[in-house]
Amino acid sequence: MSTGSARFSALSHRDFRLFLVGQAISLSGTWMQSVAQGWLVYSLTKSPLYLGIVAASGALPIMILTFAGGIIADRFPKKNLLLMTQALSILPALALGILTSFGLATVWHIAIVAFVLGSINAIDIPVRQSFLIEMVDRKDIVNAIALNSAIFNGSRIIGPVIAGISIAYFGMPACFYINALSFIAVIIALAMMKTQGKRIVQSEGVLKDFMKGIRFIRSRTEILHVISLIAVFSLVGIPYINLIPVFAAEVFHVGPKGLGFLVGASGIGALIAALGIAVAGNIGNKTRFMSLAALCFSIALTFFALTETFWIGLCIIAIGSWGMVSYLATANSYIQVSVPDELRGRVMSVYSFVFLGIVPVGNTIMGITADFIGTRQAVLIGGVLCLVFSVFFAMKYRTVSR
């Protein structure tokens, strides 16, 4: 095997290649919709509070339903489940496109559509996460997770930039319609796959099945530490992304084009992180690397809240995104290689819950705080809190590593 092939060993699997192609197209559309939706909400309300409310509406179903999604992922063929979730995801995008085209969209319409899409994602995310290892060999899972993260974050560059240009020249509805079409690419890729996805032959009941996953996490202190810090980031760190429209409009004064570049800069940092992990392969001391990445994200978030210069903000947000994705991608692979196959769906549903499910609480807290004391001040507080907990958990990781 050549050096390049060894570095990207997961690409030797046909089903995984199909998966990545579909992901690249679909996720670019998803990020277009995310940028357009944020700008639409801010255009209608001029309020960071409503940005938080809409973001919370999309993440709330993940908080409620993601554990059920993990149980479903272990019980049914994952390929069929993904075909279903991708087909259903077309409908919310079409709804937003039609409402916006006819000038009927209100912030509450957007919140309802976000809630519907979040409900679909609550099933889709744990299924997708646990399906990765079934498309590749176990020895290639770290590489597969890194490449999947690279595609996800590469789309954060392409999608937002196209969205900013589309909003400026073609209007917001174009972003929603393109996103609806993009899901077809994933459906075609899934239909061409041979892998169906494993499922549990016997079940002891929903509650007992779920508690098995919880007991496993509680028994592994190092996994509990990893997930706990993700929970902190989800509450006071990650929600900053939903306030970027306020920075674009009121701090940097760059409009929708600038908004696209800000989100795109975040994607550049994330892409560099994901590709770096893919090339590096299996990182030797994962806990030390995660400590460094967490500190990088926290420090960058703090400085982003303080800067008033657009180009400096672009650089800082890229550095912070590198830290966040480096932490999340390493944490994902760390958990995946540590969990038995029969528990993977349930454990990854807990990962999805702390990564995305508690974000509605964070979005609400950050939105209310930004509304009362200012957006920059709210993000600054979030950055400082992330930094404090990153230092604390870095000490915990060092103890575990020893």
Sequential pLDDT tens for the chain (402 residues): 444 455 677 788 888 899 888 888 888 888 888 888 888 888 888 877 787 788 778 877 877 777 777 778 777 888 888 999 999 999 999 999 999 999 888 999 999 999 999 899 888 888 887 787 788 877 777 788 778 877 877 777 778 778 878 887 888 898 999 999 999 988 999 889 887 655 554 555 556 666 776 777 777 777 888 888 988 998 889 888 878 888 888 889 887 778 878 877 887 888 888 788 777 766 667 778 888 999 999 999 999 999 989 999 999 999 999 999 889 888 887 887 777 766 766 777 777 778 777 777 887 788 888 888 988 999 999 999 999 999 988 887 665 555
What pLDDT does 385 receive? Answer: 95
Q: Evaluate whether residue 185 is within a structural domain.
A: yes
| Buried residues in 155-172 as b, exposed as e (16+ CB within 10 A) | bbbbbbbbbbebbeeeeb
Tokens of 143: 């590489």
Which CATH number do you get for residue 319? 1.20.1250.20
Amino acid at 31: W
Domain annotation covers residue 37:
yes
Count: domains in the chain: 1
The candidate with the shortest Cα–Cα distance to 375, out of 51, 54, 114, is 51
Query: Would you state the pLDDT for residue 322?
Result: 93
Residue 129 maps to a domain: yes
What does the alpha-carbon distance between residue 50 and residue 184 come to, in Å, rounded to a whole number? 31
- Quote the pLDDT of residue 2: 45
**Nearest alpha carbon to residue 357 among 53, 124, 62, 57:** 62
**Domain membership flag for residue 3:** no
Q: Domain range holding 59? A: 10-197+205-401
- Report if residue 32 sits inside a domain: yes
Question: Is residue 272 in some structural domain?
Answer: yes
The angle formed by the CA atoms of residues 375, 376 and 380, to the nearest 5 degrees, is: 120
- Helix and strand counts by DSSP (H, E) for the chain: 16, 0
296-299 long-range CB contacts below 8 Å, 24 or more apart? 296/320, 296/322, 296/323, 296/326, 297/233, 297/237, 297/321, 297/322, 297/323, 297/324, 297/327, 297/386, 297/390, 298/237, 298/323, 298/383, 298/386, 298/387, 298/390, 299/383, 299/387
Q: Which pLDDT belongs to residue 281?
A: 62
Domain assignment of residue 169, yes or no: yes
- Structure confidence at residue 245 (pLDDT): 84
Tell me how far apart the terminal alpha carbons of the chain are, to the nearest angstrom.
35
